[in-house]
Amino acid sequence: MFLPIVAIIGRPNVGKSSLLNCLARKRISIVDPTSGVTRDRISIEIEHEGRLFELIDTGGLGLKDDVELAHEIEVQIEIALQKANLIIFVVDVRKGITPLDVEVTERLRKIKKPLLLVVNKCDTPKFELQAGEFYKLGLGEPLPISALERHGRSNLLDKIVATLPEISEKQKTLKPLMKIAIVGKRNAGKSTLINTLANEERVIVSEIAGTTRDSVDVRFEIEGKPFVAIDTAGIRKKKQIQGSIEFYGMSRVERSIRRADVVLLLIDAPRKISQVDKKIGDFIKTQFKPCILVINKWDLAEGAEVDQFTDYIQSRLPGLYFAPLSFISALNGENVIETVELAQEIFQQAHTRVSTSELNKVLEHAFALHHPRKRKNKIAKMYYATQVSVCPPTFVLFVNHKSLFTSDYERYLSNQLRKDLPFHEIPLRFYFRPKKRGQLIEHK
């Protein structure tokens, strides 16, 4: 299932993350002048001229030892170099050839892999002429580009696909079954879970809070089935956010939830449910995303009973009362595969569509059991309903007065549909529309 890999390499602040964003035409990597912002291998699938490949952004080569997690970043770079089918070595035309560029060049020569030398920040004709200086590195023709202006993008993509090996038709058509966003507060074990799923050191794991900054897409397989897991930055209280890097991480968590098919909300079993957990849960609820409440480090929760802990979780996260719980140890791999299987189950629930007759039969029974309250002598009437979409399952109910159908009554209807239809553990969306005539679903 794995695609050819193109790794972006270079010293800090030459524009590697900007180049990934340029080629992807999306804001994937965080771009910031601070050295050491990119820590993990950030990847995105790129298609150009019918050819697919995986593009990977890496941390800056040659970071000083006093930079936080410098050794771990270096390990991630080395893994990217070993896996790459093609290396893009990025240099900065405005800085010229630096001693660190020469040092990186010597390292890349020893690897003996196909390489493209990209001279970034060539946003004027003057700088394009200066790109010729980099012939001195002996790595072939320097390719001028401006990642921020997207100048030279198409030419670089042409060079990339011309250099990469062909892939099979099966690889071209094999798409992930679903995207799973793994979210939670700091040090809940998100990166450990990602590495367990990927069966490799795919992202940096550290006791240092806030290690993960970007959202990292990681492909993995279970029984031959491909998935994508999205590792995200740990969220903390807004007043504790320090600087733009953490702010960008926060925004990427929300974007990751929006683009996920299923969300795993990781809860640290030995710690209490916090306001941050509630905030994440509320955002998942507003996005109507299928969600599993994953209780991590369960092996460390001494004396805790599953039933009592379940009651505690549901009392603290009432907006996700319908979401299933899974108790795991990401470090030991305990119950991890079963959690992915559960994610597949609720993913299928979210794609379920029921017939109009089946839906109306359940709603008729629900309406007969419990009417909305009268308001200003108005009596609620429900005429008929239909399912209009999936992911989330969405229903339009035609009624006489929308104002009579409150959020409490909507929750009641959701529970009835979950009880009697195959939507047991997922969010449901309702729209109430006024209609004066039609078939009544009304207890008489």
Lowest-confidence segment of 28-37, 53-62, 275-284, 318-327 by average pLDDT: 28-37
**Residues 6 or more apart whose Cβ sits within 8 Å of residue 350:** 261, 262, 290, 390, 391, 392, 393, 426
Q: What are the C-alpha distances in Å from 366 to residues 369, 388, 389?
A: 5, 20, 21
Q: Place 233 in a pLDDT band, splitting at 50, 70 and 90.
A: low
Lowest-confidence segment of 154-158, 231-235, 402-406 by average pLDDT: 231-235
More confident residue, 140 or 235: 140
Both 346 and 372 in one domain: the answer is no
| Domain total of the chain | 3
Please give the pLDDT value at position 289. Answer: 96
Both 184 and 87 in one domain: the answer is no
Both 25 and 164 in one domain: the answer is yes
Any domain includes 440: no
pLDDT averaged over every residue in the chain:
83
- For residue 392, the domain's CATH number is 3.30.300.20
pLDDT at 53 over 70: yes
More confident residue, 285 or 63: 285
Per-residue pLDDT averaged across 118-147, rounded? 92
Q: Which residues constitute the domain of residue 280?
A: 179-350
Please give the pLDDT value at position 237. Answer: 53
* Contact between residue 208 and residue 159 where contact means Cβ atoms under 8 Å apart: no
Any domain includes 442: no
More confident residue, 73 or 425: 425
Please give the Cα distance from 215 to 29 (Å, whole number): 8
Any domain includes 157: yes
Please give the Cα distance from 228 to 68 (Å, whole number): 28
Both 201 and 159 in one domain: the answer is no
pLDDT at 438 over 80: no
Both 25 and 71 in one domain: the answer is yes
pLDDT at 243 over 50: no
Please give the pLDDT value at position 208. Answer: 39
Q: Place 37 in a pLDDT band, splitting at 50, 70 and 90.
A: very low
Q: Which of 350, 369, 390 is a domain's end point?
A: 350
In the chain, the percentage of residues whose pLDDT exceeds 70 is 82
Both 169 and 25 in one domain: the answer is yes
More confident residue, 300 or 171: 300
Any domain includes 36: yes
Please give the Cα distance from 2 to 56 (Å, whole number): 13
Q: What is the pLDDT of residues 172-189, one digit of tens each?
A: 555 667 899 999 887 888
**Residues 6 or more apart whose Cβ sits within 8 Å of residue 357:** none
Any domain includes 441: no
- For residue 221, the domain's CATH number is 3.40.50.300
Please give the pLDDT value at position 191. Answer: 82
Q: What is the pLDDT of residues 81-98, one digit of tens each?
A: 888 899 999 999 999 999
Both 159 and 76 in one domain: the answer is yes
Any domain includes 439: no
Q: Place 34 in a pLDDT band, splitting at 50, 70 and 90.
A: very low
Residue 151 per-residue DSSP state: B
Q: Which of 148, 173, 198 is a domain's end point?
A: 173
More confident residue, 256 or 39: 256
Q: Which of 300, 325, 350 is a domain's end point?
A: 350
Please give the Cα distance from 17 to 26 (Å, whole number): 11
**Residues 6 or more apart whose Cβ sits within 8 Å of residue 402:** 432, 433, 434
Please give the Cα distance from 161 to 116 (Å, whole number): 12
Q: Place 260 in a pLDDT band, splitting at 50, 70 and 90.
A: very high
More confident residue, 250 or 340: 340
Both 337 and 369 in one domain: the answer is no
Q: Place 30 in a pLDDT band, splitting at 50, 70 and 90.
A: very low
pLDDT at 1 over 90: no
Please give the Cα distance from 119 to 116 (Å, whole number): 10
> How many CB atoms lie under 10 A from the CB of residue 152?
22
Per-residue pLDDT averaged across 335-356, rounded? 96
Please give the pLDDT value at position 226. Answer: 84
Q: What is the pLDDT of residues 360-411, one digit of tens each?
A: 999 999 999 999 988 888 899 999 999 999 999 999 999 999 999 999 999 9
Both 32 and 108 in one domain: the answer is yes
Please give the pLDDT value at position 70. Answer: 57
Any domain includes 264: yes
Both 169 and 191 in one domain: the answer is no
Q: Place 71 in a pLDDT band, splitting at 50, 70 and 90.
A: low
Both 123 and 245 in one domain: the answer is no
Any domain includes 444: no
Please give the pLDDT value at position 17. Answer: 85
> How many CB atoms lie under 10 A from the CB of residue 218?
22
Both 218 and 318 in one domain: the answer is yes
